[in-house]
Structure 1
Amino acid sequence: MNNIETPWTNMTSPLGEGVTTLRVNHERSNSWYWIRSKGGFYGVAIQFPSKEVEATSTVQGTAKINIARINDSNGDHYLGVVINASELATVFHRLCLDLMSACRFSESPDELIAILKRRVLAWQRLFEKGNRILSPEKCLGLIAEMKFLKDHWIHGEPSYSINGWVGPMGAPQDFKDDAQGVSVEVKAHAFDSNVVKISSKEQLDSEESLFIVAYPGCLSSSGSEGKNLNEYVEETRRVLSPDQYSIFDERLLNVGYARSSSYDEMLFQIGEAKVYKVAGAFPKLTKDTLPAAIGQVRYDIDLCLVADWSCPVSDIC
């Protein structure tokens, strides 16, 4: 492990095939343990009733994440998530804390197992990218999405579900609600520019009501104004209900974000959004307007030239 102390730092590896455990004292709603196994593997485990042994078998490990299933002498069953990459110790510790926080408001074993399954897959995608922080450009894009989520999507009228934040899952648009027939693509652009980038021919292609929500923003040049990405994440989390935490955290993991002190020094400013309805003759490239021989496309839209399609955000929410 690295030099930053984690719960596993002072835990010794077991002599045999078992695990060394340390109860997570601050977790009262579920029985969580820090665990360390032979060979330098370390992680966290939760205790389940013995009758749930078969159900936990549906949680499978990945290339960098191992699943530990432990039955002790008392007949208790534990499901653990472990890794052996010491360079990921501090970020993995943070992820484990988020996992326990997400599970705190789930009462049934089925809910806990479902969260664990989704989280393991999300962690794998994060670890595949390595222990890298997001670029300033990606940070600003994520901040814009969270601002729309917090200020409008879940607090609008009608309000939409956090499950509708589908961009991190690979969907063409950032937000989508099938029941209301609404899709939203959130963009960030510089304060001194009115140009937004469209990354594919699918991004502005929808049979539903489709909107572009564009936020002006920038990385603070003074270093003293604005908020960092960690602060924007926590600000958004505070307006969510506890049962939404696990979905929120998994979306963040899917875009490559895990809380890190590396973000603390990057401060961002973000302005008020302008909204445009993508309808009628709105300029766009889609699969129906492009020859079949053209594959992937990327292009810019000048927001000054689409002012005729501007509308209030209340048209969305």
Structure 2
Amino acid sequence: MLNLKLEFEQMIKELNSQSQQEVYKLRVLTAESPILFAGIDTVNMNRQLYIDLGFEPWEPDQLKALPKWRGLSIKIEYYEKLALLKGHHYLVLRQESEHGTDIFEVVLQNVVDHLITRDQNESVFTVVYKVLDRWRVFFQKGGYRKLTEEQQRGLFGELWYIQDWLNRFPTAPPLIIEQWEGPTSGRIDFKHSNRGVEIKTAINKLTKTIKISNENQLRLTNAVSSIYLYVCFIEPSKTHGVSLHALVNEVRNQIASRSDRMLLKFNDLLEDLRFKEEDYTDDFFFVDKVEVYEAATNFPRILQEDLPKGISHVSYSIDLTHCMEFERDVDEVFDL
């Protein structure tokens, strides 16, 4: 996929080698609709993205509706001639702060990726709105954050399951990413058809205890009539195993070789978690083994109807040593 950061770096190199600088440095990114240009304000080196709208501008209400935040300006500008295009209107996203260039490049990269991979029946306005709205929520929540140790273990387990799936189906489209609901606070981490897979991690393999977050997590319904627990027994380490940073890159590379669209969704889900992978290079996890349990009707669990009136949001632990009758072969969880 197009690497916008490298495009900006190349533009800056070209500017530094020129004896006479332009006011704006532009670079064509795509030759297909919508045609995109990367731009740099040569005075302050702020980044810009130009999105070709054709001969007709958007309605004022559309421009006004686009999500915004401090440091971003959005305008529609008309150019008699920009490159080989005459009389076109452009949506221009401009960096208005000298700080935060790295994250602004990530935002623009996300906009470009979604525009390049958009469905033909999806309008440019819809795509831009969705992307900017996700980033507005991201900044409202405070931007990137460091996951707690428990959250790191949970994400590691979900990524380990994704990698396991990708390894078992090396030629299949990576539709497992469409089934991943963990980052969006879904009740079940992975859901396909009417079956759910909940990922759990356990540190002490002797006690084999897992945590259930609430009384609805293992509820069987018409929509989710079977639930499997994919349990990773892991050991944290400072020297051995796989870091979250490395595992994310391994999974990303496998997805990238199969589907640009699924790669984009994978990256979006990580952004939803406010996950900055560079923060997770020093801690490692060693996976000792994986076990699978079917949370069938008689599986030990607490349900809402079991609780006294007025009691809710109950978390509890399950000792898997008492659940041997529900243990299944690991292959079963991947049989669709």
Question: Could you say which residue in structure 2 is the equivalent of 1:187?
Answer: 200
Provide the secondary structure at the position in 2 that maps to 1:53: coil
User: Is residue 2:303 matched to residue 1:291?
Assistant: no
Could you tell me which of 279, 284, 289 is aligned with 2:296?
A: 279
User: Rg bigger for which structure?
Assistant: 2
- SS of the counterpart of 1:93? helix
Residue number in structure 1 paired with 2:217: 203
Classify the secondary structure of the residue corresponding to 2:304. coil
Matched, 1:23 2:26: yes
Name 1:70's counterpart in structure 2.
76
Amino acid corresponding to residue 263 of structure 2 in structure 1: Y
Secondary structure, aligned partner of 2:74 = strand
What is the aligned length? 301
The residue aligned with 1:123 is 135
Structure 2 stretches lacking a partner, 5+ long: 1-6, 13-22, 81-86
Could you say what the CA RMSD is over the residues aligned between the two structures, in angstroms?
3.9
The answer to whether the 8 A contact 1:218-1:269 is kept is: yes
Aligned residue for 2:211, secondary structure, equals strand
Q: In structure 1, the residue corresponding to 2:267 is in which secondary structure?
A: helix
Higher RCO (CA-CA < 8 Å; seq separation 6+): 1
Secondary structure class of the residue paired with 1:275: strand
Structure 2 vs 1, CA of residues 140 and 67 (structure 1 numbering), >3 Å: closer, same or farther? Answer: farther
Distance, in Å, in 1 between the alignment partners of 2:79 and 2:126 is: 27
**Structure 1 gap segments, 5+ residues each:** 1-5, 11-19
Indicate whether 1:143 and 2:156 are aligned.
yes
1:169 matched residue in structure 2: 184
Question: Percent identity of the aligned residues?
Answer: 21
Counterpart of 2:272 in structure 1 is 254
Of 105-114 and 123-132, deviating more is 105-114
Give the secondary structure class of the aligned counterpart of 2:231.
strand
Per-residue deviation, 1:174? 0.8
Partner of 1:307: 324
Instruction: Report the 3-state secondary structure (helix = DSSP H, G, I; strand = E; otherwise coil) of the residue aligned with 2:38.
Output: strand
Gap change, CA 1:65 and 1:294, over 3 Å in 2: farther
Q: Residue 198 and residue 35 in structure 1: after superposition, are their counterparts in 2 closer, same or farther (change >3 A)? A: farther
Cα distance, 1:279 vs structure 2: 0.7
* Counterpart selection for 2:242 from 227, 231, 251: 227
- 2:242 paired with 1:236: no
TM-score normalised to structure 1 length: 0.77
Match of 1:93 among 80, 102, 105: 105
What TM-score comes out, normalization by structure 2 length?
Answer: 0.73
Q: Secondary structure at the match of 2:241?
A: coil
Deviation, 1:309, is 0.8
Deviations 1:181-225 (Å, cap 9, x if unpaired)? 111111122154522211111211132211111112243222xx3
| Contact 1:102/1:245 (8 A) holds in 2 | no
